[in-house]
């Protein structure tokens, strides 16, 4: 991750990569259910189709916030790829989520509102864990820069295994996957905040989901340290884990989700912080 | 220099007296002129500051006047307590009077200066005079709409100015006896302000504020007593105490002072008075909350931070404030009244400021100063805006704010900027929060004892969770405000009274400009102040578009980009309009029902008593630890 | 760039039950399951009119569901196609002549493909949707012109082929079926 050309290429191609991951995910999920599943490029077909629909919005504020969500998320991903400050990255990501939450609140639509409320709660669930992981990383490397983690000779995974476990526990919340997909819950709130978008404006929100994959898998990749292969293996394992979990579990309600994140994932991250602080590992 | 500083004390008093007698038009002109002059003086003082703090003594007669004034104030409090049958009020006041009389007899009369103006005082002057001045101008219009006699209107304005005088004096006082008087003066001012509307609730809350703040006064007296009777200290002045502290090694006086600060800063269990202060007219809430009164808390802690830094007292204070930060944030989630939400978030952010001040490393102190400044300006803006919402749009609850973006785009813009400046990356308060995370991380690494490390880690978790809860809160409020049914034709700012418009514009521009100018403000404005507090230079360096303070790096490019991108983007979202795009109805399963939307509320009634008990425990802990040391 | 050909690669489905007996709905859901797996055509049951391209309607359109049907239909952005699944949706089926419904969905919104059967089989539904996709490719982004449909008298219920009757007739600018 130290080559500037690679970095810029990665940033530019991030949405496309994310789309591929999403396509692969749909394929893998279908295979897990013994279906054939859509083609790998299905997300891009969806993308092109949406470009060709009649433009319809609820009101401009709502539509604009959707676009802003995409742009700001891309920005957060870019800072992450460039190896910027971890705390800043987390807050930028929080902001992009904030934007879409505000968009959800900005319409007088029941489902949109419920979705926004639930998204806000899930932010509350995963945000502390992420920041504590960031602080542990700081204790480890003495710098908040992610690039220090990318360059770490001993893989970060061996230094902070519990942090990795905590991250795995909150990933479904972040990616809106079952069992923690309350904020999207198609059967209950019809997609939540993204419900009122259509046509090219939905495209922004749809692609932002792909960017979220990139964001999350980069966080996982980070645990491989300087060892790119370990990083990729971790990403692959996480990918399978997330999809298996998504396919095999039922949705819990938002209270249970919050309780789980704050009483299970957070203490694990905290123990990890203590271990790093005392230099046990 | 000294005469100019003294003019900061005299001028508001003169203005305050004049305002009682002048007719309305003249009062208007006088208020504006006085504000301009006071702000000008405070800015000039900061600009022409020297390397050495300015110290000056006052004639001996003033000592006697101060003592008499002390007793007069206490007599007033006792009278109020008797009249309104509140035993806590008069009991505490009587106790203070007794202690004060005893101390006055034993007071050593050495050669010392009563006033000591360093960079921190100059910093406070700017905040007090500029922000309170804006509030005074604002209240010209606001109090006009209040239903009360013309005299009470004048009286209100006049009170604001003597409050400014008291605050100026307080931040310059070095002698603890003087400090006690000014502290009591601000307490009385808040009492008068809170009961201004004279209804039952106001009176009740005013009394609560009075007795709670009496405890702060009592604590200061305790500090004086210990100073006098501890061999080695002798003279009760801040500067003397701070220079002697390392040799004497008794930190109980500082524990007492810290308690005075924490009470004024409405930390648990004393948070009730600040929440109760919300019944007062809005400019009062702004005064008490944002610019001045509660800022006494971080001010005191900053002053004594060199003495308590690294001691168990500081540790207990840090634990208390970290706890208050998250508890107040959770408490805010249950509120619906806009002003109460602001009050709770004020308590939370105050806790953060005090925490930073108690940590006392160069970066932490800089962060505390930044938080004080930005919180002062943006909370003031939000409170004044709450007043506009109440008077112009008749909205008090967040749940009734749903149409605000339609009827008052300008007002909602202010709310948006205000909240974002408290939360989002490029703005000041965020950076303060960030620094706090970074410095606390460092402390854990620097101190070797495992127990301290554990505490530091726990505090980190509390801050992190509290931050997340606060952001949830802000989204909730912003979200309920931004909601809109359909497309708006064209954004047209609502017409506001020129005074409202002028003050809000000023504050808005100040917040935005200060944010953009942050890279220059930190080395030019905050770092020198921090340097005087910690008594050594604060290393600040620009390096490859990153600002480095001590050992904390601040990447400027992404932050400025984020500034352009997000807050401006969100604000732009309120005004953009897409052309050639069709509008559709919201999806509601095809139903045509009118939807009254709701937000999540979180009940915290069950938890609140425990917060209070925990707060009491911490307060006792501070004293105990201070005593045992 | 011509994007028309991507329409049929990712048709998102909205499924609406306008008062049917749920027989056809079960069949539609069966299509989504592993056995028939219409996701291999890129179809997703989105449940949200704003992002859907194909509307699958079941049921004879009762009086209560009529308004909602039209409302949801109008929230789908063009181009869109409507597939009427099941006999009762096409003609009224077993409900024909009842007090609470008229004969079929095409009296309220334009229908592109009729899938017969009471309940229609999943294979038929897939065939119907694939048929609809051909139409989808040639649609424009314009709002579909409303046409007045001649309504067959319900009393003389004698096996009418509704598709013949449903030819558009020039009504000289009269208000549409919506009015
Ligand atoms: S066509 Fe038959 S099976 Fe299908 S909904 Fe109508 S009545 Fe039920």
Residue from the list C10, C39, C75 with its beta carbon closest to the beta carbon of A45: C10
Q: Residue B160, Cβ neighbours under 10 Å: how many?
A: 24
Residue in chain B lying closest to A71 (CA): B565
Using DSSP, state whether C45 is helix, strand or coil: strand
Q: Which residues of C touch B589 (CB under 8 A)?
A: 68, 72
Structure tokens at B441: 């991380």
Q: Measuring CA to CA, which residue among A81, A208, A96, A78 is closest to residue B424? A: A96
A36/C3 touch (CB, cutoff 8 Å), yes or no: no
pLDDT at A202 over 50: yes
Each residue's pLDDT tens digit, A42-76: 899 888 888 888 888 888 888 888 888 898 899 88
Is C87 touching ligand 1 by the criterion CB < 6 Å? yes
Give the CA diameter of chain C: 52
Say whether A197 and C41 touch across the interface (CB within 8 A). Answer: no
| CA B268 and chain centroid, separation | 15
Distance C31 CA to ligand 1 centre (A): 16
Task: State how many domains chain B has.
Answer: 1
Backbone phi, then psi, for C169, in 5-degree steps? -120, 145
**Lowest-confidence pick of A223-237, B230-244, C40-54:** B230-244
Which residues of chain A have a CB within 8 Å of the CB of B467? 127, 131
pLDDT tens across A172-192, in order? 998 888 888 888 877 787 778
- Look at residue B442 and tell me whether its pLDDT is greater than 60: no
Kindly indicate the confidence band of residue B438, based on its pLDDT and cuts at 50, 70 and 90: low
Say yes or no for a CB contact (<8 Å) between A88 and B559: yes
CA distance C144 to chain A (A): 12
Task: Please tell me which residue of chain A has the smallest CA distance to B438.
Answer: A135
CA distance B388 to B72: 37
What per-residue confidence (pLDDT) applies to B445? 43
pLDDT in tens, B99-130: 888 888 877 766 677 788 888 888 888 988 88
- Report residue B600's pLDDT band, with 50, 70 and 90 as the boundaries: low
Reported confidence tier of residue B489, pLDDT bands at 50, 70, 90? low
Task: Indicate the pairing of strand C54-58 with strand C12-17.
Answer: parallel
Q: A38, C79: Cβ pair inside 8 Å? A: no
Average pLDDT over residues A231-252: 90
Average pLDDT over every residue of B581-607: 72
Residue of B581, B584, B586, B590 to mutate for C, most C C-beta atoms under 10 A: B590
Looking at the domain assignment, is residue B38 inside a domain?
Answer: no
Q: How many domains does chain A have?
A: 1
Q: What is the mean pLDDT of chain B?
A: 81
Phi and psi angles of residue B582, each rounded to the nearest 5 degrees, phi first: -80, 150
Atom of ligand 1 nearest to the CA of C117: 1
Residue of B nearest to C67 (CA): B590
Is residue C28 lining ligand 1, measured as CB closer than 6 Å? no
Give me the pLDDT at residue A108, please: 79
User: Nearest-CA residue of chain A relative to B559?
Assistant: A88
pLDDT of residue A96: 86
Task: Decide if pLDDT at A204 tops 80.
Answer: yes
Using the beta-carbon criterion (under 8 Å), do C40 and A38 form an inter-chain contact?
A: yes
- Determine contact, residues A101/A120, Cβ cutoff 8 Å: yes
The pLDDT tens digits for C73-116 are 888 888 888 999 988 888 888 888 788 887 788 888 888 888 88
Domain limits for position C161: 4-177
Q: Determine the atom of ligand 1 nearest the C-alpha atom of C60.
A: 6
CB contact under 8 A, B592 and C71: yes
Residue numbers of the domain that contains B612:
309-618
**Lookup: tokens for A181:** 């997909």
Q: Which of B236, C10, B62, B110 is nearest to A206 (CA)?
A: C10
What single DSSP character describes residue B233? T
Cβ neighbors of B251 (< 8 A, separation 6 or more) are: B245, B307, B308, B311, B313, B626, B629
Q: Is residue B32 part of a domain?
A: no
Any residues with CB less than 8 A from the CB of B109 and at least 6 apart, and which?
none
Tokens of A259: 């309780």
In this prediction, residue B613 has a pLDDT band, given cuts at 50, 70 and 90, of confident
Instruction: Give me the mean pLDDT over the A267-276 stretch.
Output: 87
The region of weakest confidence among B12-21, B48-57, B372-381 is B48-57
Q: Output the pLDDT for position A24.
A: 92
Name the 3-class secondary structure at B239: helix
> Is 80 exceeded by the pLDDT of residue C140?
no
Q: How much is the pLDDT for C176?
A: 41
The residues in B 408-427 lying below 8 A from A, measured between CB atoms, are 424-425
**What is the enclosing helix (H) or strand (E) of B34?**
helix B24-47
Give domain status of residue B432, yes or no: yes
The mean-pLDDT minimum among B242-246, B354-358, B413-417, C30-34 falls in B242-246
> How many Å lie between the centroid of ligand 1 and the Cα of residue C20?
6
Q: Classify residue B9: in a domain, yes or no.
A: no
> Using alpha carbons only, what angle is made at residue B595 by residues B593 and B598, rounded to the nearest 5 degrees?
155
Percent of chain B with pLDDT over 90: 0
Q: Considering its fold, how many domains does chain C have in total? A: 1
Which pLDDT score, from 0 to 100, does residue B424 have?
Answer: 63
Q: How far is the CA of C147 from the centre of ligand 1 (A)?
A: 26
What is the whole-number distance in angstroms between the Cα of residue C119 and the centre of ligand 1? 5
pLDDT on residue C166: 46
- CA pair distance B376, B297, nearest whole angstrom: 13
What is the mean predicted confidence (pLDDT) over B304-322?
83
3-state secondary structure of C109: coil
* C169, pLDDT greater than 60: no
Both tokens of residue A51?
């470009």
Residues 6 or more apart whose CB falls under 8 angstroms from that of A120 comprise A101, B472, B475, B476, B479, B600
Mean per-residue pLDDT for C24-34?
87
Residues B504, B506: Cα–Cα separation, whole Å: 5
Taking the C-alpha atoms of residue B437 and residue C15, their distance in angstroms, rounded to an integer, is: 50
Look up the pTM and report it: 0.85
Q: Which residues of C touch B592 (CB under 8 A)?
A: 67, 71
pLDDT band at B550 (very low <50, low <70, confident <90, very high): low
- Domain residues for the domain of A28 are 2-277
**Confidence at A210, pLDDT banded by 50, 70, 90:** very high
> Who wins on pLDDT, B211 or A140?
B211
Chain B positions touching A85 (Cβ under 8 A) are: 553, 555, 558
* Chain B (154-173) residues lying within 8 Å, Cβ to Cβ, of chain A: none
Is B438 inside any structural domain? yes
Tell me if B597 is assigned to some domain. Answer: yes
Which of B482, B555, B586 is the closest to A85 by Cβ?
B555
Q: Is residue B214 part of a domain?
A: no
* Phi and psi angles of residue B419, each rounded to the nearest 5 degrees, phi first: -65, -40
Q: Looking at ligand 1, which residue's alpha carbon is closest to its atom 2?
A: C118
The angle formed by the CA atoms of residues A255, A261 and A263, to the nearest 5 degrees, is: 95
- CB–CB of C50 and B592 under 8 A? no
Residue C168: is its pLDDT beyond 70?
A: no
Q: Using the predicted structure, report yes or no on whether residue A206 has a pLDDT greater than 80.
A: yes
Closest C-alpha to C133, from C79, C72, C88, C85: C79
Distance CA B245, CA B531 (A): 19
- Compute the average pLDDT of residues B282-292: 75
Please report the residues numbered 564 through 603 in chain B whose beta carbons come closer than 8 angstroms to any beta carbon of chain C: 584-585, 587, 589-592
**What does the pLDDT average to over A10-31?**
89
- Coil, helix or strand at residue C121: coil
- Asked if pLDDT for residue B404 goes beyond 80, the answer is no
Query: A1 pLDDT exceeds 70?
Result: no
Residue B339 has pLDDT above 70, yes or no: yes
CB contact under 8 A, A105 and B559: no
Greater confidence, B99 or B461? B99
A261/A125 Cα distance (integer angstroms): 6
Task: Provide the residue count of chain C.
Answer: 179
Chain pair B-C, CB pairs under 8 angstroms: 20
Chain segment A95-149, per-residue pLDDT in tens: 888 888 888 888 878 888 888 888 888 888 888 888 888 888 887 887 777 888 8
- Cα-based torsion angle of the residue sequence B88, B93, B98, B103 in order, rounded to the nearest 10 degrees: 130
Q: What is the pLDDT of residue C33?
A: 82
Mean pLDDT over B518-536 rounds to 80
Return the pLDDT at A241: 92
pLDDT confidence of residue C147:
57
Q: Are B385 and B411 in contact (CB under 8 A)?
A: yes
What residue in C sits closest to B584 (Cα-Cα)?
A: C75
Interface residue B595 vs chain A (CB under 8 A): yes
pLDDT at position B443 over 60: no
- Torsions phi, psi of B390, nearest 5? -70, -45
Of A30, A49, A202, the CB nearest to C7: A49
Asked, for residue B81, whether it belongs to a domain, the answer is no
Residues 6+ positions from B204 with CB-CB distance below 8 Å: B276
């Amino acid at each position: 991750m130290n080559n500037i050309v690679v970095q810029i290429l990665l940033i530019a191609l991030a949405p496309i990569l994310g789309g591929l991951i999403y396509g692969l995910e749909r394929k893998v999920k279908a295979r897990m259910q013994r279906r054939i599943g859509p083609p790998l490029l299905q997300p891009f077909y969806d993308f092109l189709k949406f470009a060709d629909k009649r433009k319809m919005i609820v009101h401009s504020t709502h539509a604009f916030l959707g676009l802003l969500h995409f742009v700001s998320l891309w920005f957060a991903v870019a800072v992450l790829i460039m190896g910027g400050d971890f705390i800043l990255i987390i807050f930028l990501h929080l902001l992009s989520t904030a934007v879409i939450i505000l968009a959800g609140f900005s319409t007088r639509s029941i489902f949109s509102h419920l979705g926004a409320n639930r998204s806000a709660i899930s932010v509350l669930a995963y945000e502390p864990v992420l920041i504590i992981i960031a602080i542990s990383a700081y204790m480890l490397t003495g710098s908040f820069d992610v690039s220090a983690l990318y360059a770490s000779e001993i893989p970060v995974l061996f230094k902070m295994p519990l942090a990795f476990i905590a991250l795995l526990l909150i990933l479904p919340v972040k990616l809106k996957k079952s069992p923690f997909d309350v904020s999207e819950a198609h059967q209950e709130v019809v997609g939540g905040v993204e419900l009122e978008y259509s046509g090219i404006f939905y495209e922004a929100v749809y692609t932002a989901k792909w960017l979220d994959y990139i964001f999350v898998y980069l966080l996982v990749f980070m645990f491989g340290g300087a060892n790119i292969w370990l990083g990729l293996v971790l990403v692959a394992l996480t990918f399978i884990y997330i999809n298996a979990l998504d396919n095999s579990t039922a949705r819990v309600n938002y209270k249970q989700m919050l309780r789980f994140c704050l009483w299970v994932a957070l203490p694990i991250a905290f123990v990890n912080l203590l271990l790093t602080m005392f230099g046990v590992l | 220099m000294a005469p100019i500083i003294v003019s900061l004390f005299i001028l508001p008093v003169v203005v305050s007296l004049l305002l009682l007698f002048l007719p309305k038009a003249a009062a208007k002109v006088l208020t504006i002129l006085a504000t301009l002059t006071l702000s000008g003086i405070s800015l000039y003082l900061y600009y022409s500051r020297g390397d050495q703090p300015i110290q000056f003594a006052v004639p001996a007669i003033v000592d006697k006047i101060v003592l008499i004034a002390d007793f007069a104030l206490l007599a007033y409090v006792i009278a109020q307590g008797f009249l309104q049958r509140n035993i806590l009020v008069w009991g505490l006041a009587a106790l203070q009077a007794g202690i004060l009389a005893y101390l006055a007899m034993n007071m050593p009369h050495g050669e010392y200066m009563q006033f000591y103006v360093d960079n921190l005082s100059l910093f406070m002057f700017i905040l007090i005079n500029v922000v309170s001045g804006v509030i005074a101008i604002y209240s010209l219009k606001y109090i006009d709409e209040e239903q009360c006699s013309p005299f009470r209107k004048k009286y209100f304005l006049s009170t604001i100015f003597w409050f400014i005088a008291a605050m100026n004096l307080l931040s310059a006082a070095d002698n603890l006896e003087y400090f006690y008087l000014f502290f009591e003066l601000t307490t009385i001012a808040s009492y008068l302000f809170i009961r201004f509307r004279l209804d039952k609730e106001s009176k009740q809350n005013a009394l609560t504020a009075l007795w709670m703040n009496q405890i702060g006064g009592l604590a200061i007296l305790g500090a004086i007593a210990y100073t006098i009777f501890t061999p080695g200290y002798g003279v009760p002045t801040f500067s003397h105490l701070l220079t002697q502290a390392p040799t004497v090694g008794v930190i109980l006086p500082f524990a007492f002072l810290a308690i005075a600060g924490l009470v004024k800063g409405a930390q648990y269990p004393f948070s009730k008075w600040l929440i109760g202060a919300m019944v007062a007219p809005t400019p009062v809430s702004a005064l008490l909350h944002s610019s001045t009164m509660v800022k006494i808390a971080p001010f005191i802690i900053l002053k004594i931070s060199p003495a308590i830094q690294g001691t168990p007292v500081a540790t207990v204070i840090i634990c208390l404030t970290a706890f208050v930060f998250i508890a107040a944030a959770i408490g805010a989630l249950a509120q619906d009244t806009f002003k109460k939400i602001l009050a709770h978030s004020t308590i939370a952010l105050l806790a953060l400021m005090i925490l930073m001040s108690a940590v006392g490393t160069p970066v932490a102190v800089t962060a505390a100063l930044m938080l004080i400044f930005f919180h002062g300006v943006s909370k003031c803006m939000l409170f004044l805006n709450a007043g506009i919402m109440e008077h112009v749009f008749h909205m008090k609850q967040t749940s009734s704010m749903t149409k605000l973006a339609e009827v008052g785009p300008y007002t909602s813009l202010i709310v948006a900027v205000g909240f974002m400046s408290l939360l989002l990356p490029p703005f000041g308060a965020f950076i303060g929060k960030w620094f706090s995370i970074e410095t606390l991380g460092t402390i854990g690494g620097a101190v070797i004892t495992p127990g301290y490390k554990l505490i530091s880690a726990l505090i980190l978790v509390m801050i992190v969770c509290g931050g997340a809860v606060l952001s949830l809160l802000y989204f909730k409020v912003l979200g309920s405000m931004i909601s809109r049914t359909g497309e708006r034709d064209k954004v047209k700012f609502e017409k506001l009274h020129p005074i409202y418009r002028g003050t809000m514009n000023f504050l808005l521009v100040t917040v935005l400009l200060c944010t953009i100018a942050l890279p220059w403000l930190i080395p030019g404005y905050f770092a020198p102040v921090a340097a005087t507090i910690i008594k050594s230079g604060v290393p600040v360096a620009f390096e490859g578009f990153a600002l480095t303070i001590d050992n904390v790096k601040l990447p400027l490019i992404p932050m400025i980009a984020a500034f352009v991108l997000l807050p401006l983007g969100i604000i732009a979202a309120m005004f953009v309009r897409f052309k050639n795009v069709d509008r559709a109805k919201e999806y509601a399963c095809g139903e045509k029902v009118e939807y009254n939307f709701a937000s999540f509320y979180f009940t915290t009634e069950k938890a609140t008593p425990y917060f209070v008990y925990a707060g009491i425990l911490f307060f006792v802990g501070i004293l105990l630890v201070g005593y045992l040391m | 760039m011509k994007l028309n050909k991507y329409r049929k690669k990712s048709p998102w489905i909205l499924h609406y039950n306008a008062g049917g007996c749920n027989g056809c709905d079960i069949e539609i859901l069966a299509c989504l399951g592993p056995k028939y797996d219409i996701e291999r055509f890129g179809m997703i049951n989105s449940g949200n009119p704003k992002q859907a391209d194909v509307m699958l309607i079941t049921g004879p359109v009762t009086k209560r569901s009529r308004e909602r049907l039209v409302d949801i239909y109008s929230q789908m952005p063009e181009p869109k196609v409507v597939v009427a699944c099941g006999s009762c949706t096409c003609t009224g089926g077993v409900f024909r002549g009842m007090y609470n419904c008229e004969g079929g969905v095409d009296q309220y919104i334009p229908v592109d493909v009729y899938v017969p059967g009471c309940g229609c089989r999943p294979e038929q539904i897939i065939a119907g949707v694939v048929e609809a996709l051909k139409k989808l490719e040639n649609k424009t982004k314009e709002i579909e012109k409303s046409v007045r449909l001649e309504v067959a008298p319900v009393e003389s219920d004698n096996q009418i082929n509704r598709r013949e009757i449903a030819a558009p007739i020039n009504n000289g600018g009269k208000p549409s079926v919506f009015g």
